[in-house]
Amino acid sequence: MIVLRALNPRRHYKTVQSGELGIGFALAAAERIVRKRYPGHSVSLVDADIALQAGWALVGKDVRRRSWVRQRPNFFLEAWKPGEPSKVVPLACEGMHGKTPYVYTQLASASTQVEAVHVGRWNETPVLVTSTELLGQGGITVHILQAHGDGALALRA
């Protein structure tokens, strides 16, 4: 019975569709928010898996591997202006075909993803979490939560 549900192509298609559209709408909305928050800055989107697997986040004497830390943001948005430190905003994005109450579960899950990283001064990491709701004939709704903060990377002397 479980195998039959997993092989249902319609269910698979809807899952892939909601995930991909969730990412697309989240990136478009997040880029707009970051551009508005940091006018005059160039904004880049960086896949978090690629950035974190590159190794720079996994080095240092104070870093310990924790097997229970598997959650991480989906993307980082970097706002950069010459002569200023980069501003980095972690983004977690979800998408779904479903009922509106599930949006709250997705936003809570996404918030744990962005809490896995720390950028800038303690407790001042700016974050964005999104849940894109695909409503069929009812349209598309993007729910966004944001936490303000500096997110500035320290300039090395």
Can you tell me which residue has the tokens 């809807």? 14
Domain range annotation of the chain: 9-147
Range with the lowest mean pLDDT among 39-43, 58-62, 136-140, 150-154?
58-62
The per-residue pLDDT for range 81-102, each reduced to its tens digit, is: 998 889 999 999 888 877 777 8
Strand pairing partners for 129?
92, 145
Query: 151-155: which pairs have CB atoms within 8 A and are 24 or more residues apart?
Result: 151/87, 151/88, 151/89, 151/119, 151/120, 151/124, 151/125, 151/126, 152/85, 152/86, 152/87, 152/120, 152/121, 153/85, 153/86, 153/87, 153/88, 153/119, 153/120, 154/85, 155/85
DSSP state of 58: G
* Gap between the Cα atoms of 71 and 109, Å rounded: 9
d(CA 146, CA 8): 36
pLDDT band, residue 122 (cuts 50/70/90) = confident
Confidence at residue 81, expressed as pLDDT on a 0 to 100 scale:
93
Number of C-beta neighbours around residue 79 at 10 A = 23
Band of pLDDT at residue 7, cut at 50, 70 and 90: low
